Structure 1
Amino acid sequence: MLVAERYVTLYNRFGGEAVVGEPVEATLEALSEALFCTPRNAKLVLKKLEEDGLVGWLPGRGRGNRSHLVFKQNKESFLVDLAMSKAEEGEYRTSFELLSRYGEGTEAKERFLSWLNGRFGYQKETVRGLIGCDTLRFPVYRSIQTLDPAKVNYAFDSHMIRQIFDRLLSYDEHAGKIVPGLAHAWKTDSEGREWTFYLRKGVMFHDGHEMTADDVVFTFERLRSSGMPNRWMLRHLVTVEAAGLRTVRFVLTRPNWMFDRYLCSSAGSILPVNLNGLSEELYWQRPVGTGPFQLMTLTEERVELAVNPGYYAERPYLDGVDIIILPEDCEQLSTIGLPAVMQTYDGDKSQAEENYAEDWQGIARLCNGSTMLTWNGNKKGWSQNEAFRKAVRLILDPVAMQAELGGERVLPAYALRPEDSLQFAQLKAPAADIRQALVRSGYDGAKLRLVVHEKYERDGRWIADRMGRFGISVELFPADWTQVVDPAVIASADFTVNGVILAEDEVCEIDMYEHEECASSTYLESSLKQWIVGQIDKALASRDVAGRRSCLRDIETRLRDECHIIFLHHRRLNTYIHPSVRGASFGSNGWIEFKQIWLEK
């Protein structure tokens, strides 16, 4: 226990309502009990606290004279200063642990967050001896689950992977076409079964060695190995081989006219051969890629990126990005602790506008994707009863959900894509029809378990309440980031709420059906999944974009019609940008693209 912690420990135990500088009674035995040490060690602690000017110790002399302790610093101010000093050392988690442990009954946490707010946004500072570095610092309220492209499943992780690594190709969302990446050119045979990629010269990994075909071959051999959730991308791969120092050839068993689009996804990010000779554990502590930023720090409380000055595509304007991972409960404390330069709102837009001057820039994007309810087709019970699932769909009116919850939920969903949802008629089922549908399903009042990540808790409570109105008993289980990836927790659910962002459009659509850790995939009953995989293969074999789209829409239609999934809403992201910031826009993953931001001085 640090000396500072001992001070607030004693203050909590003996300070009470006492005024700073006012003696309070305290025996040496009581002090040692509070500090969980011997009386001898308690004396040493008191001596150190006195030397630091924190307390005064007035020992009682003689029979009947009691000892007194004098606290010389206000606990709340002391605690705030302590938390600030830890944060300046990069120990943000320690700061919040101290505030949670000792700050009850004070406004220390709010004061600390208010101070922290001034550290967010754009900072021009000295970093590693370099003066005037342009750094963007901002908080997030979720930990990185993985930076391994072969395992990536979440949008934030995918976004971070794209900062550190590059892919052979990229998809230009604005131009609507595939463009060169690490490969400057590529070709395929007439059957779409053999693909050849030609690599750029002089592309360097962050550790200084040049990328070659061997790195690419290693990456994809590793990606298709057992246990990698994204190996679905290479289901039909026969061989991947180096046909030269900078030439890579892929041979497939079946046609795949989307293979070049596959290689645009985060899962196809290129790693150094043999992970630079490191073990998996050591390499992922600080992985190196060829991306626009290199990873400098990766802890549970902080991710620090520094610019890759030799980036082949174009050096970013930013010199660094510092991401502070705050406890999730801080997100609920209004706007305290949020970036002063760049702020994303998932809530009420009008409320957000009140926090910013008129000249701040407001940008918004409707997410290409959907939030949906997904039934667990592999758990015995009512989730396998189609008539019951259809009755629940009547209960969960997307229009009512969007109207009652509002915020980021800006469009009722009836399909994966917002433009498709607009084509559906919005029909509200009478309560009598819903009750009749439940009777026909044979529902017997059994309790259902709804597992949702904490960020979907409001949606989950709304769903449980609506179903409860019609006599369906729902046990809601809000899961944190650790629980939401626990196979036992996932398997225990009858249904869940999950979101899909189609960052790479059809590729992400296929991913939701084939990714080995995605709820939309793991909850698919085996025969249904087999049919879906067959439809996907038909789509990949079609050279015609419309033909591929038709095959994938057939999957979506069946899942919707049989109510394996129930679409809920489409999300909008709102961001407010300081007038000095230029180039800010949402990427396909729903995050601001770091490498495009620049500062008008």
Structure 2
Amino acid sequence: MRLLEHYQLLYNILPGQEKAHSITIGMLAKSLSCTERNAKLIIHRMQQAGWIVWKPGKGRGNTSSIMLLADLEELILAEAKERSTVSMEEGIYFLHRFSISKHTQRLFVDWLFFASDGGHTKPPDTIDRLQFPSYRPLPKLDPMLVHRRSENHIMRHIFNRLIRYDEKAEKHVPELAHAWSHNHDYTVWIFQLRKRVRFHNEKELVAEDVCYSFLRHQKTCSAYHWILANLEKAEALHPYTVQFTFEKPMPHFLHLATSMGGSIVPSEDHSDAIPIGTGPFQVVENTLTQLRLKTFEHFFGTRPFLDEVNMYFFPELYDNQPSEVVESERVNFYQYPYTSKSTANFQQTTVLDQGSKLLSLNGNKGRLATDTMLRKAIFHLLQPEELIRQLQGNRYLPAGRLLRDTENDASLLRNPALVHELLNASSYQGETFHLYSYTGAGNELDGRWIQQQLSKAGVDVTLHFLPYEELMRQNLDAADMLLGEQLADESRLQTYLSCFQGTHSLPAHHIPDQNRKRIQRMVSDNLSEKEHIQRLQQEEAALCNNHHLLFLYRLEQFAIYPKNVENIQLNALGWVDYTKLWFNPLSVRKEIENE
């Protein structure tokens, strides 16, 4: 056991710094789990380090006096910095071994990424490495298991789909498939695959891999089980030809195929830790402390300009709260909003998030399903402007619909003066409602704010925050309220379908049965994309007007970076596209010349 760990033991049993405590060598040996002889050696070393003041008692077994001088978290921080001079990863791993305050954790992050090079040996100028801290590990980078913003963004760089949706052109374009066709009633879709496409494990992509990638979502535990609701079979007609046959017409199957559920994986390699795709980046390492990506040199498309992307994870680093950060030109990327004394050395790109934070009220079970006055009272009680003002962070703009351009003043207007009258007209008798959400993404703060606002009006709410995977195993159909992020996609139709039908969509659990049945029938109707979106928007309006869906706010998404970073583009998820970003070495040279 290292000296610091011994000091931690003393720190935990002797309350109060710079306060004398009476203790015997025997008591110390017991507390430090060592012999009396070793206890004396440990005390001597702590004295030499200046961590304690020790006054030995006279005679064997007599009481001595000890005073702790050093702040434990300062010692941990200093040791983490020292270890980082050998290896950044070693310093981060060491820090994670201790339960420390958010303040100390942030001091280390600022030092590591902003105020120093962390002792990390500078790579050759030809290696372009993007490295930055993030607030939670991403252990499950498999579309079958998760549908969340951070995971989806990384998975977009690891996997490819048969096709992708071009938002500017408003059409589907080739990716792994170079051509596709369908029969007259859209029950059969055929895709022709590119040749010589390699997975990260060097295996060549063939039709069997595509069949496997889709058919695995037939398991009900899959986050994308919903996209195969009408699938009869998927078969390889040829090594480079795949056919999907459906029980009902699927005129908009292309939109489902562009979802993350359409990501193609090899049929033979199913590693949980290291996902295998065909994308421009491949995973080198994925642990609780870091995620390392490197460019896949055999990528079938245009090679990214970056060579590596490294994310380092620090729990509680971010919860939609503003923070202080040390300014330095050594930072080469930051994805969360920070306030600082000066931003002269930083560029900043922001975009309004296309998605939103959404609270849904159960439309099928419990008091909320039947009491329209109670749902309406809750709607008027929760004022997004106040939530944004009080909680701040990158909560930015009130939301009233899935897509901002479909909102109007009526969808955003809330009148707290109506609450008392509405509650009196409701059947509410003081029972407790249960709100469920997943940890992270600001949900805990948002949930507590909702609880406080409803409590002021006498509506009792109990909060349940669970890890994402655990939440998805709950019977969410029975939850009174569900809170979470509603993600957007480049395809408007896919955004609506994912919200109303997604297996991991929280509001999908609360849509009243009559609305759900209409939406399900709509999927097979021979409607144009525009007509389909209009119909879904009508369903959305009905759900909002009946106060089953309560949209709260949209985020302002950030990219903060030095002047030598070029071509920052934020995607529909509000994250930077790593395939387009590049470092301009001439920018650094000009700054040096101007100094």
TM range (shorter): 0.7 to 0.9
Distance 1:206 1:457, change over 3 A: same
Q: Which runs of 5+ in 2 are unaligned?
A: 586-595
Please identify, of 153-162 and 55-64, the stretch whose mean Cα deviation from structure 2 is larger. 55-64
Distance 1:196 1:121, change over 3 A: farther
SS of the aligned residue for 2:137 comes to: coil
Supply the distance in 2 between the matched residues of 1:58 and 1:465 (Cα, whole angstroms): 52
Say whether 1:80 aligns with 2:77.
yes
Structure 1 residue aligned with 2:522: 535
Percentage of matched positions with identical amino acids: 28
Say whether 1:327 aligns with 2:315.
yes
Q: Is this contact kept in 2: 1:121–1:136, CA < 8 A?
A: no
Query: Which residue identity does 1:344 align to in structure 2?
Result: Q
Within-5 A mapping of 1:328-367: 328=316, 334-336=323-325, 340-345=331-336, 352=339, 354-357=341-344, 360-367=346-353
SS of the aligned residue for 1:343 comes to: coil
Supply the distance in 2 between the matched residues of 1:571 and 1:193 (Cα, whole angstroms): 39
Structure 1 residue aligned with 2:589: none
Say whether 1:442 aligns with 2:427.
yes
Q: Is this contact kept in 2: 1:360–1:576, CA < 8 A?
A: yes
Structure 1 residue aligned with 2:379: 393
Supply the distance in 1 between the matched residues of 2:469 and 2:570 (Cα, whole angstroms): 27
Structure 2 residue aligned with 1:575: 559
Structure 1 residue aligned with 2:593: none
Structure 1 residue aligned with 2:31: 34
Q: Is this contact kept in 2: 1:118–1:340, CA < 8 A?
A: yes
Structure 2 residue aligned with 1:473: 460
Supply the distance in 2 between the matched residues of 1:32 and 1:429 (Cα, whole angstroms): 66
Note the alpha carbon deviations across 1:168-191, whole angstroms, 9 max, x for none: 111222332211111122222222
Supply the distance in 1 between the matched residues of 2:370 and 2:92 (Cα, whole angstroms): 43
Supply the distance in 1 between the matched residues of 2:119 and 2:77 (Cα, whole angstroms): 22
Distance 1:526 1:452, change over 3 A: same
Supply the distance in 2 between the matched residues of 1:470 and 1:76 (Cα, whole angstroms): 42
Query: Which residue identity does 1:250 align to in structure 2?
Result: F
Distance 1:580 1:132, change over 3 A: same
Within-5 A mapping of 1:20-169: 27-39=24-36, 42=39, 78-85=75-82, 88=87, 90-91=89-90, 94-100=93-99, 109=105, 111-118=107-114, 132-144=126-138, 146-169=140-163
Q: Deviation at 1:420?
A: 0.8
Query: Which residue identity does 1:114 align to in structure 2?
Result: D
Note the alpha carbon deviations across 1:279-324, whole angstroms, 9 max, x for none: x5xx111121111111011112211111112211111111111111
Supply the distance in 2 between the matched residues of 1:138 and 1:118 (Cα, whole angstroms): 10
Q: Is this contact kept in 2: 1:139–1:337, CA < 8 A?
A: no
SS of the aligned residue for 1:595 comes to: coil
Distance 1:6 1:425, change over 3 A: closer
Q: Is this contact kept in 2: 1:373–1:497, CA < 8 A?
A: yes
Distance 1:240 1:491, change over 3 A: closer
Q: Is this contact kept in 1: 2:292–2:309, CA < 8 A?
A: yes
Query: Which residue identity does 2:350 align to in structure 1?
Result: A
Say whether 1:255 aligns with 2:240.
no
Structure 2 residue aligned with 1:459: 446
Supply the distance in 2 between the matched residues of 1:152 and 1:257 (Cα, whole angstroms): 26
Say whether 1:318 aligns with 2:306.
yes
Query: Which residue identity does 1:414 align to in structure 2?
Result: G
Q: Is this contact kept in 1: 2:376–2:547, CA < 8 A?
A: yes
Among candidates 581, 587, 590, match of residue 597 of structure 1: 581
SS of the aligned residue for 1:31 comes to: helix
Note the alpha carbon deviations across 1:25-56, whole angstroms, 9 max, x for none: 86431221221345466468679989999999
Structure 2 residue aligned with 1:305: 293
SS of the aligned residue for 1:363 comes to: strand
Q: Which runs of 5+ in 1 are unaligned?
A: none
Q: Is this contact kept in 2: 1:125–1:134, CA < 8 A?
A: no
Structure 2 residue aligned with 1:588: 572
Query: Which residue identity does 1:549 align to in structure 2?
Result: I
SS of the aligned residue for 2:579 comes to: helix
Please identify, of 288-297 and 182-191, the stretch whose mean Cα deviation from structure 2 is larger. 182-191
Note the alpha carbon deviations across 1:45-104, whole angstroms, 9 max, x for none: 679989999999998885588778899988665422322355535256644445536x89
Supply the distance in 1 between the matched residues of 2:541 and 2:424 (Cα, whole angstroms): 26
Q: Is this contact kept in 2: 1:411–1:418, CA < 8 A?
A: no
SS of the aligned residue for 2:89 comes to: coil
Query: Which residue identity does 2:485 align to in structure 1?
Result: G
Among candidates 484, 509, 526, match of residue 498 of structure 1: 484
Distance 1:7 1:385, change over 3 A: same
Distance 1:57 1:394, change over 3 A: closer
Within-5 A mapping of 1:403-442: 408-422=394-408, 424=410, 426-429=412-415, 431=417, 433-442=418-427
Distance 1:329 1:593, change over 3 A: closer
Q: Deviation at 1:595?
A: 1.3
CA RMSD of aligned residues (A): 3.8
Distance 1:36 1:591, change over 3 A: same
Q: Is this contact kept in 1: 2:434–2:461, CA < 8 A?
A: yes
- TM-score scaled to structure 2, two decimals? 0.84
SS of the aligned residue for 1:250 comes to: strand
Note the alpha carbon deviations across 1:400-423, whole angstroms, 9 max, x for none: 545665553433322111011146
- TM-score scaled to structure 1, two decimals? 0.84
Q: Deviation at 1:424?
A: 3.9
Aligned residues: 577
Query: Which residue identity does 1:28 align to in structure 2?
Result: I
Say whether 1:287 aligns with 2:275.
yes
